[in-house]
Amino acid sequence: MRELYTKTVVLLALFLATTTVFSQCEEITIGSLSNPGIYDVATLTEADGLRNGPDYFGATVYYPTNATPPYASIAIVPGFTASPNSVEAWGPFYASHGIVTIIIGTNSIYDFPEARAEALLDALETLREENTRNASPLLGAIDEDKFAVSGHSMGGGGAQRAAVLDNSIKGVVALCPWLPNPDLDHSSPVVIFSGQDDTVAPPGIHANIHYDNTPNSTNKLLFEIENGNHGVANTPEGGNSSVGKVALSWFKLYVDQNDCYCSLLTDYVQDNPLASNIESSFECEVLDTQENISQTILYPNPTRGVVNISLQQDAFYQVYSVLGQLMLSGELKGNLKQIDLSSLSGNMFYVRINNETFKIAKTR
């Protein structure tokens, strides 16, 4: 009896793990990359006890108030002569998607990319200290193994250089980066945005060179916005919101390590009409889902009772509630394979066939 119970628990755990993956990935769509996201956002400044870093001037931390920690984080710095409000829109955008974001100013608005790289690394140190500050709402809530950097123009060049200086950085989002003849020998996955009509940092001598000078062994993506100027990536709304969608997908995939974003990102950037140039060299794991691996079809869905199963071979099936309770089981045999759900109340159920899990809606 104990052995039977153990086997049941193990099988149920495996089933629930599988259905959880399916459920999570089903919720990740282009629509889920909206601005704003689903979480409420609050801010922290030095007036609230935030550390005053010596390598930058002034900071605002944007963080989700109703997401589940620990949080991945990103530090963002503006471009040459620009103030933090030039990239301010990225703060609430990322935070509303569950990402802690620190936006900093520079000690001098004329700081060059290397100084901006140091400023970004100092901003990450502020997040580390916030993770241990007793009075902080982010005490113990930051995942220090999931840090990314970003910046616009010279700040984008600085973000690339920060990844060279600190190989623990898990991702780079370079916004129309400016950095001539860059040394970019780093392994941090990087997405580079550029504007086709950028006259300040023309792609041919900046963004494209950044892409080429980043090692081929590094996951990298170049996304040039058609008719875009130098400010096209200052906000997530740039390029008809394509900038925000690609940046968030990249961050979630490589920094937050959520493989559900692999197919979404790949499909979205492929032949995107909003882009005048796309170059990519990245690998990610495409998760198996019902839609892309299964030869089995269940119909109609939703159903009022009987579900038809298009399946060549005979098989066993189990029907589980959303709480993991086994509701029905049996064998599918012969030419006409069906499952009768008439005895069940209207709800969502999971059908398990041949190690595959299908979600089906039962109506009254």
Selected residue with higher pLDDT from 8 and 86 = 86
> Strands 347-353 and 315-321, how do they pair?
antiparallel
Q: Is the pLDDT of residue 5 over 60?
A: no
Q: Is the pLDDT of residue 95 over 90?
A: yes
Q: Which residues are catalytic?
A: 153, 198, 230
Q: Is the pLDDT of residue 244 over 60?
A: yes
For 120-179, how does the pLDDT look when each residue is reduced to its tens digit (9 = 90+)?
A: 999 999 999 999 999 999 999 999 999 999 999 999 999 999 999 999 999 999 999 999
Domain residue limits, the chain: 2-24+294-362, 34-281
For 276-314, how does the pLDDT look when each residue is reduced to its tens digit (9 = 90+)?
A: 999 999 988 766 444 444 567 888 888 888 999 988 889
Q: Which CATH number fits domain 34-281: 3.40.50.1820, 3.40.50.300, 3.30.2130.10, 3.30.300.30?
A: 3.40.50.1820
Q: How high is the pLDDT of residue 231?
A: 98
* Residues with Cβ within 8 Å of residue 152, at least 6 apart in sequence: 77, 78, 79, 82, 86, 87, 175, 176, 233, 234
Q: What is the pLDDT confidence band of residue 345, given thresholds at 50, 70 and 90?
A: confident
Q: How high is the pLDDT of residue 364?
A: 67
pTM of the predicted model as reported, rounded to 2 decimal places? 0.75
Q: Write down the CATH number for the domain with range 2-24+294-362.
A: 2.60.40
Q: How high is the pLDDT of residue 293?
A: 43
Q: What is the pLDDT confidence band of residue 200, given thresholds at 50, 70 and 90?
A: very high
43 burial class (0-12, 13-18, 19+ CB within 10 angstroms)? middle
